[in-house]
Amino acid sequence: MNLLLLDAAKYWSGGAERVYLCAKGFKQKGHNVVVICLPTSRLNLLLKNEVIIYNIHPVSDLDIFAAIKIVYVLLKHKIGVIDVHSPKFYWLGVFISKILNKKVFITRNVEYRKKGIKKIINRFLYNFCNGVIAVSEKIKKDLMEDFKLKEGKIKVIYDAVNINPQVKNIRNNYNIPQDAIVFSIIGRIEENKGQHIAVEVVKKLLDKGYNTYLFVVGQAESQSYYKNLVDYVKKNQLVEKVIFTGFVSNIEDFIFSSDIVLCCSKYEGMSKVILISIMIGKPVVTTEAVKVSEVLGKEHLKFIKFVPVRNVQNFVNSTEEVIKNLSFYKKESQNFSLQKVSYEKMVDEYLNFYYEKNY
């Protein structure tokens, strides 16, 4: 097959990692792969020697100049199947594919439910597709309910989780005492991810007498949000306690060096950070937005403390409970099977779904 994958992550994200793994996997299976991404995307670096890459940055959902470029790519490379992994490309990818009689799929990894007229408009979008991939059963259920999709049109394919088995303690790199209580929050820095909640949690725990530190791992997606975070840290004299790392490729080391991993997202899909944390044996305090229960057994879910309402005080209460039981989590740490979220399984399920809807 000649395949085109579209992704609009500005720098890096779980969705961008999925596109990276799919592109590599499809190529290894003998398919011709083209990727369209933004000029700033890390996919340019990771895939430059693997597949053909084009940089297109649409300024709107129906950007005519971006549409012309996409048409050129489709015709030049005789693309037969398009999979759109980012909302920024949904309308362009779907409409162009239908006009040119190409098979088109949408991959949806976060719920972001539509309301009112937007729900009605998006119902047309999803029903124009040949197939829809959801990264969790909950997202599949929401899509079927919101857009009246038939069950046969939508398939759940869990994102693959690749973990570096060689992890190391990096506390000394940041002058963090080994007996301190260290948190990590990992993901692009923007309001939905809720880094401001994590910073305030650390501040309140410090006020209670805990010797806490926080790794804020990820690239700034929203510069204004990032500036407000930095200003808060400076104003509250937390500069030595809150460490902004920027983008890193070794998130496993930061998880391994932490006592507790935080996920403060308002919207989230199948969080790879949480799954990796469980694999490494670290407890997680998270909002109920994450969709990891589908792939974790009861023995692993006890490592997760779900916060019912997304606010600072609830996170403080939950993290304090986990701190008091850290010895329990260290004792109960177990190996987690990768079978449901393996790289090979994800690639095969994508290709099988494309074939199913093609023939």
Residue 317's CB: how many other CB atoms inside 10 A? Answer: 14
pTM of the model: 0.87
Three-point CA angle 153, 157, 163, nearest 5°: 165
Distance of CA 171 to the CA centre of its chain: 25
pLDDT in tens, 189-230: 999 999 999 999 999 999 999 999 999 999 999 999 999 999
Spell out, as residue ranges, where the chain has pLDDT lower than 50. none
CATH topology of domain 171-338: Rossmann fold (3.40.50)
Write down the pLDDT at residue 334. 62
What's residue 338's pLDDT? 64
Instruction: Beginning with the edge strand found earlier in the chain, give each strand of the sheet holding 2-6 in spatial order.
Output: 52-55, 32-37, 2-6, 81-84, 103-108, 131-134, 154-156
pLDDT tens, position by position, 96-127 = 999 999 999 999 988 777 888 888 888 899 98
Please name the fold of domain 2-160+342-358.
Rossmann fold (3.40.50)
Do 199 and 276 contact (CB within 8 A), yes or no?
no
With vertex at residue 246, the alpha carbon angle to CA 244 and CA 248, rounded to the nearest 5 degrees, is 120
Give the burial class of 60: count Cβ atoms within 10 A of its Cβ; 0-12 exposed, 13-18 middle, 19 or more buried: exposed
- pLDDT at position 30: 97
Q: What is the pLDDT, as a whole number, of residue 359? A: 56
Q: Which residues contact 92 (CB under 8 A, 6 or more apart)?
A: 58, 61, 62, 63, 66, 67, 70
How far is residue 304 from each of residues 139, 153, 160, 332, measured CA to CA in Å? 20, 33, 20, 13
Rg (CA), the chain: 21
Instruction: Answer for the pair 160, 110: CB distance below 8 angstroms, yes or no.
Output: no
- What pLDDT is stored for residue 3 in this prediction? 98
- H/E stretch holding 252: helix 251-256
pLDDT at 296: 84
Give the integer Cα–Cα distance in Å for 44 and 53: 7
Domain ranges for the chain, please list them: 2-160+342-358, 171-338
Domain pair 2-160+342-358 / 171-338, same fold: yes
